[in-house]
Amino acid sequence: MALSTREAYGEALRKLGAKYDFWVMDADLSKATKTDLFADAYPERFINMGIAEGNLMSTAAGLASCGQTVFASTFAIFATGRAFEQVRNSIAYTNLNVKVAATHGGVLIGPDGGSHQAIEDISNMRTLPNMTVVVPCDAASTYEAVEQAINLVGPVYLRFGRFPGDDVYKTGSCPFEIGKGNVLIDGNDVTLIAIGDMVPESIKAASILKQNGIDAAVIDMHTVKPIDAPLIIEYAAKTGAVVTAEDHNIIGGLGSAVAEVLAENCTARLGRIGVQDLFGRSGSKEELKKYYKLTAEDIAEKAMALVEYKRTRR
């Protein structure tokens, strides 16, 4: 059974806590963010701040100013919404070594509903100078992302999900470098660029496309900022059509980041799979995937439309 990325995050903190000296702070959600795994192992390096997310971020900044590495965790909506300005002024503006590590990103977090489903967190964090934005797609890449965030000096936003999805990488053999997208499947007709839960969906979409005679490339763009522009440009030139897929508003997230690169450098056509500027709602992960058109079939359909567009323009 695959682990959710939040569970993998907690496990990574627990394991890496033996190797590195860092702190973890939470705001009364440690059982859900899984920072409790670290808290149990290293209580002297764990600080519960109570339900006060703004205070969490600024206090983390003060701790980091003493030369410390700090993970500050809560749900994505509170980390990047409620505490946006604390992240901006206390952490990003100061370029301090705080990892804003948020769980429950996106609509696929399920039953809690719209108040808890962050559809704007990547967008919010992406606009902050000094901030690196990383969205791992499975347990193995989460471990690598956490370790690399520890070794990267400066603020990082890490976004994790709630429910397990299909594993994409094998534990211990996951190629992962912050800022470098991973080409999971090579292809010539269309490029699928995805993050988080949409990576395994895109892999499924590629096999649907294959059955329809379309040769799709799939890229795990785990780092949304700084985005791997050379890789996007290379694949846009090679395939002429790009589909982005994310569990996030299509405004401001991965789709926008890729669009910015394409608009300045390429002639490739772009299609964006994501939440179509709507708030979330309660439901199961699978129900929500269908409701918000985040399935492999939706991705494949968009890709086919782009391939058809290319053909008619030839």
Cα–Cα distance between 142 and 310 in angstroms, integer?
36
Residue recorded with tokens 């994505």: 76
- Are the beta carbons of 120 and 250 closer than 8 angstroms? no
Tell me whether residue 89 or residue 148 sits nearer to other proteins (CB atom). 89
Tell me whether residue 43 or residue 213 sits nearer to other proteins (CB atom). 43
The distance from CA 14 to its chain's CA centroid, rounded to whole angstroms, is 21
Shortest distance in whole angstroms from residue 181 CB to other proteins:
30
131 contact partners, CB below 8 Å, separation of at least 6: 92, 125, 155, 156, 157, 225
Stretch (H or E) spanning 5: helix 5-16
Between the alpha carbon of residue 149 and those of residues 54, 153, 267, 274, the distances in Å are 22, 8, 34, 26
Shortest distance in whole angstroms from residue 131 CB to other proteins:
15
53 is a catalytic site residue: yes
Shortest distance in whole angstroms from residue 86 CB to other proteins:
6
Residues that bind other proteins (CB under 8 A): 44-45, 47, 49-50, 52, 54-55, 57-68, 85-86, 89-90, 93-95
Tell me whether residue 82 or residue 289 sits nearer to other proteins (CB atom). 82
Shortest distance in whole angstroms from residue 128 CB to other proteins:
14
Write out the E strands in 104-173: 132-134, 156-159
Cα–Cα distance between 260 and 34 in angstroms, integer?
35
Catalytic residue, chosen from 7, 11, 53, 246, is 53
Between the alpha carbon of residue 63 and those of residues 67, 96, 153, 168, the distances in Å are 8, 9, 14, 35
Residue recorded with tokens 């900022």: 225
Tell me whether residue 57 or residue 119 sits nearer to other proteins (CB atom). 57
Tell me whether residue 4 or residue 90 sits nearer to other proteins (CB atom). 90
Shortest distance in whole angstroms from residue 90 CB to other proteins:
5
Stretch (H or E) spanning 217: strand 216-220
Catalytic positions are 53
